[in-house]
Amino acid sequence: MVAEENVMKRTMILMLVMTTAFGVLAYTTYSRPPADDVKVIKITAKKFDFTPSELTVKKGVPVVLELTSTDRVHGFSLPDFKLTARIEPGKVTRVTFTPDRTGEFTFSCNIFCGSGHEDMAGRLIVTD
């Protein structure tokens, strides 16, 4: 009888542990956005433009900008979200942010790069 009770106890404890583990796993999976929900955008900078120059993202969805340069040092400045970055040739510079409001915002090169520097800009569109 005692042996049977012990087996039952162990079984119940095991079930409890498994249920808890499953619950934790399910919760974790639910609360963390899957990698697919992080929007990754690759941007190439060169004298005197960004490609692409128009980015569309969703409010509340994290964004990773992967910035590279094909010629010289450029800058990336998105003042409305207080973001700046230095883009060096041969390196990937990552900028992560989560847009917290909708609208259209200008980003530009903020490291003087030559006669077309003033034209080196793009547009970020944040939608609901």
Partner 1 sequence: MEIDRRDFMKLAGLGGIVFASGLAGRIAGATRPKQEEFYFVQLSDTHIGFDGPKVNPDARGTLKKAVAAVNSLDQKPDFIVFTGDLTHTTDDVKERRGRMAQFQDIAGQLNVTTVHYMAGEHDAALDRGDAYQEFFGKLNYTFDHKGVHFIVLDNVSDPGAIVGEAQLKWLQSDLKRLKRDAPIVVLTHRPLFDLYPQWDWATADARSVIDSLMPYRNVTVFYGHIHQEHHYMTGHIAHHAAKSLMFPLPAPGSVPKRAPIPWDAASPYKGLGYREIGAEVKNARYEISELAIQGA
80 counts as binding partner 1 under rule CB under 8 A: yes
Kindly provide the residue ranges of all beta strands, DSSP E only, lying in 47-127, ordered along the sequence.
49-51, 54-58, 63-69, 74-78, 83-87, 93-97, 103-108, 121-127
Stretch that binds partner 1, among 2-10, 21-29, 34-42, 78-86 (CB under 8 A): 78-86
Q: Nearest distance from residue 79's CB to partner 1, in Å? A: 4
Q: What angle do CA 25, 31, 34 make, to 5 degrees?
A: 90
Sign of CA dihedral 99, 100, 104, 109: negative
Which of 61, 86, 102, 125 binds partner 1 (CB under 8 A)? It is 86
Binding mask 104-123 for partner 1 (x = CB under 8 A): -xx-xxxxxxxx-xxx-x--
Query: Given the rule CB under 8 A, which residues bind partner 1?
Result: 73, 75, 77, 79-80, 84, 86, 105-106, 108-115, 117-119, 121
